[in-house]
Every structure is written in C-alpha cells, then in structure tokens.
Amino acid sequence: MKLHIKKGDTVKVIAGNSKGNTGKVLIVYPTANRAIVEGLNKVKKHQKPNAKNTQGGIIEKEAPIHLSNLMIIDGKGNATRIGRKLDEKTNKLVRYSKKSKEVIK
C-alpha cells in the first residue's frame, strides 16, 4: 500500500492531543500505519539506569501518531490532501497537492 506521508515531510496533526501543531516526520512505520513527528505526541518513559543513561529517571520522547491523523503541508503552508499523477517528463508517479495542484517533492 502506498503511503501519502514520507520521511522528511512537514505535516499538521488534525486529531488527538497535539491537534493543530506542525512538525517534520522523522520515521514512518508502514506496517503499523504510524509515524513519529518531531516534537509532537510526547510521552514520559520511566527508564532504569544503563550504560547509555547512567542516571536513569523519567525521559520524554515522541510516540508514533497514526497516519490518518496527519495531513501534509504543501509549499504554500496549507494542509492539503495528496493525489498522485503521472509526470509527463519522467513517466513516474509524483505526489501533488489537491488544493494548489502543485507537485510535492
């Protein structure tokens, strides 16, 4: 299944605790239909001391968000739906914004 969001895209959260916030996609998990967005959906994790973190304690980290709760932001700064069309020059499928009709890199 093709995903409408890729690593490096700027997205807006449309549902959940982080609703209305924007951020950059760090990791996409295609099998789980989830993505980790930089600075959003923070959770607190209790961690025992280990070699990396000798102190231990409570750390904050980003948790995955379901892809259905994310909308991509096009070049003009608008949250938009994504379509796919065949590029005449390269004969490859490209993603485009359904609002502004421009290609998304």
Amino acid at the residue 13: V
Q: pLDDT value at position 105?
A: 80
What range does the domain containing 69 cover?
10-76
Is 51 a member of any domain? yes
Is 26 a member of any domain? yes
> What's the pLDDT tens digit per position in 33-74?
999 999 999 999 999 999 988 999 999 999 999 999 999 999
Tell me the pLDDT band of 76, cut-offs 50, 70 and 90. Answer: confident
The span from the CA of 35 to the CA of 67, in Å, is 6
Q: Which CATH number does the domain housing residue 35 bear? A: 2.30.30.30
pTM: 0.83
Is 2 a member of any domain? no
The token pair that represents 20 in the structure block: 């209305």
Residue 1 has pLDDT above 80, yes or no: no
The span from the CA of 13 to the CA of 9, in Å, is 13
> What's the pLDDT tens digit per position in 78-92?
999 999 999 989 999
Please count the structural domains in the chain. 1
Please report, in angstroms and rounded to a whole number, the separation of the first and last CA atoms in the chain. Answer: 20
Q: pLDDT value at position 3?
A: 86
The token pair that represents 91 in the structure block: 């004969």
- Average pLDDT, integer, range 15-28: 94
Are the C-beta atoms of 81 and 99 separated by less than 8 Å?
A: yes
